[in-house]
């Protein structure tokens, strides 16, 4: 598993805030409907996350499906299967790009085996901080800031 923390107020890309100012303002003002959340996550992945990962990491696979709020049951199931850290507490501000059924990642839109074409990810939105939990065994592609 990889964990990447991105601060919307202090991005690595000097252009990220100016290019996405309206979207960031909507999100920080409390407008957090599904469309805004998905657009924000997508922009962060394409404009900011790429600065945290190795070139070989297929970051665009994180955007192939929409992000939806994770249920508490699914969250606990992932923790019980050691796919999420035990210290992590459930929040309604956590979004995933997969369904998890019978210990398998499933594409919620296509109902196919998720791992064939996608990378499972949980994104925790906590005010101006986005924490990406990449649920992939191969974490050699990450440069995680301290």
Q: What is the pLDDT of residue 141?
A: 40
pTM: 0.86
Tokens of 16: 């990220």
Over the stretch 52-70, which tens digit does the pLDDT of each residue have? 877 667 777 787 788 999 9
Alpha-carbon distances of 15 from 25, 39, 43, 45, 105, rounded to whole Å = 15, 17, 12, 14, 34
Tokens 């919620």 belong to 108
Angle (CA) 60 143 91, round 5°:
70
Q: What is the pLDDT of residue 140?
A: 38
């Amino acid at each position: 598993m990889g964990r990447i923390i991105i601060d919307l107020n202090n991005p690595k890309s000097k252009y990220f805030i100016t290019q996405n100012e309206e979207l960031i303002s909507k999100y920080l003002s409390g407008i957090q409907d599904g469309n805004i959340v998905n657009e924000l996550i997508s922009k962060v992945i394409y404009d900011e996350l790429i600065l945290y990962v190795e070139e070989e990491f297929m970051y665009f696979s994180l955007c192939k499906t929409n992000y939806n709020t994770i249920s508490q049951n699914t969250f606990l199931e992932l923790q019980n299967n050691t796919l999420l850290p035990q210290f992590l507490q459930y929040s309604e501000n956590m979004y995933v790009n997969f369904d998890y059924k019978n210990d398998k990642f499933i594409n919620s839109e296509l109902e196919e085996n998720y791992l064939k074409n996608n990378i499972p990810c949980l994104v925790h939105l906590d005010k101006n901080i986005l924490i990406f939990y990449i649920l992939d065994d191969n974490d050699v592609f990450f440069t995680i800031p301290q």
